[in-house]
Amino acid sequence: MSFVREIELASLGDSRGELVVLEENKNIPFDIKRVYYIYGVDPKIPRGFHAHKETKQVAICLSGQCTMLMDDGKNKVNVLMNSPKQGVLIDVMQWHEMHDFSEDCILMVLASDLYNESDYIRDYNTFKNLMDEKHV
């Protein structure tokens, strides 16, 4: 079984269209302190390449698609993100990279903490060493 936790977001759609609700500590498993979104990304340019020490996040692709590479230090899983009804939990200490953005991709991210650069691990070897120590 994969370590990646996907969250199925129910749509309250009807004949008029779709409606998805995001609620902290209900379908989003933390207090939502920050929301950001990424769009207009050159398909050739990947983003992310970091893990967080304490911040949890849920990513939702609102439009278009991209691939989220998730890495827990042992396993790497590619998740195709192509539905606004699909949430992907980026838990603490999960290295993640976003690749292959479509031109119309809008990737929204909900985060459990305000932006804090010291919460980032941006060096893969540092991340890998910390995870290897944890699993010894």
Residues within the interface to ligand TYD (CB under 6 A): 34, 36, 38, 47-48, 115
**Hey, what are 57's tokens?**
């996040």
Q: Which is nearer to ligand TYD, 47 or 99 (CB)?
A: 47
CB of 86 to ligand TYD, least distance (A): 19
Q: Which is nearer to ligand TYD, 48 or 87 (CB)?
A: 48
Residue with tokens 């603490």: 92
CB of 18 to ligand TYD, least distance (A): 26
Q: Which is nearer to ligand TYD, 20 or 38 (CB)?
A: 38
Angle 130-54-7 from CA coordinates, rounded to 5°: 105
Residue with tokens 């370590």: 3
Catalytic residue annotation: 50
CB of 17 to ligand TYD, least distance (A): 29
Q: In angstroms, rounded to a whole number, what is the distance separating the alpha carbons of residues 119 and 29?
A: 19
Q: Which residues of 48-76 are buried (b: 16+ CB within 10 A; e: fewer)?
A: bebbbeebbbbbbbeebebebbbbbbeee
